[in-house]
């Protein structure tokens, strides 16, 4: 069962402005990644479900976060059907992120008051997601649509909260373009937790990058 309600998760997403994305089959390496992000100030982590037995890895990582990292909120991304969403919620997923808009996922998440963020690529999809109770819409792939798309959506729909994923980096100009356009938060994967970081196990460097990126976001917003 999720420890945090969808409104609590949405508030943390809005407050911190960043959701790191990560997947690896090695549980112990995963713990170090989460710890580095946590020590750098991140309070959310999206575990992207992209490998065999990924649910087992997530279960172990969520138990670790609950026991060792107070206030760290773990969720799951790349979910494509209600059955998978339900499985991860049984393992304590605090939010569910999907690459597409699926109403079956909306129903199972809403029933448990778990935040779900569907991938949307048009104002029609965004409006439907909001009608289904979505708090924060995922714009995916972000690099295809870009900040101008967000700005265009926010014009007629200023209440819409958007989280772009893909095409977001730790670069200040990139972040400024997104936040100036009106995003609520950003999802950053390999641009933050790169294969080089994982291979070299440079967790001190990852912690520093997370801290610097959060500071940049705070500066841009101010």
- Among left, alpha and beta (phi > 0; psi -120 to 50; other), residue 140 is beta
Give the start-to-end residue ranges of the domains of the chain: 6-215
* Each residue's pLDDT tens digit, 113-136: 999 999 999 999 999 999 999 999
The phi, psi pair for 56, rounded to 5°, reads: -70, -40
CA proximity to 150, closest of 116, 186, 118, 117: 186
* Each residue's pLDDT tens digit, 38-62: 999 999 999 999 989 999 999 999 9
Report the predicted TM-score, pTM, of the whole model to 2 decimal places.
0.96
Query: Who's near 17: CB < 8 A, 6+ residues apart?
Result: 179, 184, 185, 186, 214, 217, 218, 221
The answer on pLDDT for 144 being more than 90 is yes
Bond from prior residue into 141 cis (ω within 30 degrees of 0) = yes
Q: Domain 6-215 - what CATH class?
A: alpha beta
* Each residue's pLDDT tens digit, 145-203: 999 999 999 999 999 999 999 989 999 999 999 999 999 999 999 999 999 999 999 99
């Amino acid at each position: 069962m999720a420890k945090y309600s969808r409104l609590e998760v949405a508030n943390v997403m809005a407050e911190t402005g960043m959701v790191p994305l990560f997947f690896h089959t090695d549980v112990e390496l995963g713990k170090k990644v989460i710890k580095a992000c946590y020590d750098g100030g991140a309070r959310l982590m999206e575990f992207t479900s992209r490998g065999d037995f990924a649910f087992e890895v997530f279960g172990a990582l969520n138990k670790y976060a609950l026991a060792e990292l107070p206030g760290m909120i773990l969720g799951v991304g790349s979910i494509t059907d209600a059955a998978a969403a339900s499985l991860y919620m049984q393992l304590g997923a605090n939010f569910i992120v999907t690459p597409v808009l699926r109403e079956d996922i909306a129903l199972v998440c809403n029933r448990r008051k778990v935040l779900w963020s569907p991938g949307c690529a048009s104002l029609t999809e965004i409006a439907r997601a909001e009608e289904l109770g979505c708090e924060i819409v995922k714009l995916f792939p972000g690099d295809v649509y870009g900040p101008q798309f967000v700005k265009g959506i926010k014009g007629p729909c200023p209440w819409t909260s958007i989280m772009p994923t893909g095409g977001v980096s730790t670069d200040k100009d990139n972040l400024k373009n997104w936040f100036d356009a009106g995003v609520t938060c950003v999802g950053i994967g390999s641009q933050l937790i790169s294969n080089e970081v994982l291979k070299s196990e440079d967790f001190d460097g990852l912690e520093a990058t997370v801290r610097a990126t959060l500071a940049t976001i705070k500066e841009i917003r101010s």
